[in-house]
Amino acid sequence: MSSNPPQSPFSLNLPSYGFPTHNQDHPSFQLSDYLIDDCSDESVTPAVTSSSPNPMFENFHYANQFSSTDPGSSSISTDYGVMKKIKLESGFRIAFRTKSELENLDDGFKWRKYGKKTVKNSPNPRNYYRCSNGGCSVKKRIERDREDRNYVITTYEGVHNHESPSVIYCAPHQNLTVTSSDTSPLEVPQTWSLQQPAYSQV
DNA sequence: CGCTTTTGACCAGCGC
DNA sequence: GCGCTGGTCAAAAGCG
């Protein structure tokens, strides 16, 4: 089929998975929690159950709890390793909650809205977006947290098969470690650097 | 003029 | 089988 395989998650090219990047235009953006959809991967320990602060996330695992051999901190590369496996075996979906006034966070990709739906038990509508790049089937859903409207819940489905059309942030090393706790939100590490898409560097 | 957004309709899956 | 719900489609409108 396509001779352009998806980028390796281990390159930590976050926007290739649709992660919002730290945007200087929107300094209020703050990456708080990574959540990964229930993936039937036995190596992943369910970290969020009925005690989840938001019932919507009962089937999600906090990514920062993935690294069972390294409690207290998490390696993002480890997390992506899990995600990659999900991708290969069943396709994957990743969701996270961000504290932002903006609903549609700038993740470096162009998205085309194709639907809007009010969901049961939520006062906030859910918006559906599709990557505008031809041939790319990545989708994302965006909705406000029903319990705390300060938070935006973004769910990505699929992997981009192309570079981000805009400037992105990339981690300098594969084994970047982000220390986090249950109470302090994760932020984009300062060690990440601005990086142009590969095609713009030639 | 081309692209995006809006929005009602339609469809599929699921529970009863 | 029926109704509910979530996801998608597609035509019309809006915008640069």
For the residues of A91-104, what is the DSSP string, one character each? Answer: --EEEEEEE-S-SS
Q: What's the confidence (pLDDT) of residue A114? A: 92
Tokens of A59: 């089937």
Cα A23 to Cα A32: distance, rounded to the nearest angstrom: 15
Q: Does A55 contact strand C, using a CB cutoff of 7 Å? A: no
Q: What's the confidence (pLDDT) of residue A144? A: 85
Q: What's the confidence (pLDDT) of residue A162? A: 72
Q: Does the CA dihedral A69-A75-A76-A78 come out positive or negative?
A: negative
Strand C near-CB residues (< 7 Å), A 85-114: 114
Cα A196 to Cα A173: distance, rounded to the nearest angstrom: 16
In the complex, which nucleotide's C1' lies nearest to the CA atom of residue A130?
C8
Q: What's the confidence (pLDDT) of residue A113? A: 92
pLDDT higher than threshold 70 for residue A127: yes
Highest mean pLDDT among A22-31, A74-83, A138-147, A169-178: A138-147
Q: What's the confidence (pLDDT) of residue A92? A: 61
Tell me which long-range contacts A134-139 makes (C-beta under 8 A, separation of at least 24).
A135/A2, A135/A161, A135/A162, A136/A160, A136/A161, A136/A162, A138/A18, A138/A109
Q: Report CA(A7)–C1'(C15) in Å, whole number.
A: 34
Per-residue pLDDT band for A129 (boundaries 50, 70, 90) equals very high
Cα A30 to Cα A188: distance, rounded to the nearest angstrom: 8
Query: For A167-184, what is the mean pLDDT?
Result: 40
What single letter denotes the amino acid at residue A30? Q
- Residue in A37, A39, A41, A40 with CA at minimum distance from that of residue A56: A37
- Residue in A202, A167, A172, A195 with CA at minimum distance from that of residue A11: A172
Position with higher pLDDT, A39 vs A35: A35
pTM: 0.60
Q: What's the confidence (pLDDT) of residue A128? A: 93
- Residue in A101, A107, A129 with CA at minimum distance from that of residue A23: A107
Cα A112 to Cα A140: distance, rounded to the nearest angstrom: 10
Q: What's the confidence (pLDDT) of residue A163? A: 66
Q: Report CA(A70)–C1'(B4) in Å, whole number.
A: 45
Per-residue pLDDT band for A135 (boundaries 50, 70, 90) equals confident
Query: For A2-18, what is the mean pLDDT?
Result: 36
Q: Report CA(A140)–C1'(C11) in Å, whole number.
A: 23
In the complex, which nucleotide's C1' lies nearest to the CA atom of residue A157?
C7
What percent of chain A is modeled with pLDDT above 70?
33
Lowest-confidence segment of A23-37, A45-59, A179-193 by average pLDDT: A45-59
Q: Does A46 contact strand C, using a CB cutoff of 7 Å? A: no
Strand B nucleotides, any atom under 7 Å from protein beta carbons: they are 3-9
Q: Does the CA dihedral A58-A60-A63-A66 come out positive or negative?
A: positive
Q: In this structure, are residues A136 and A161 in contact, taking their beta carbons and an 8 Å threshold?
A: yes
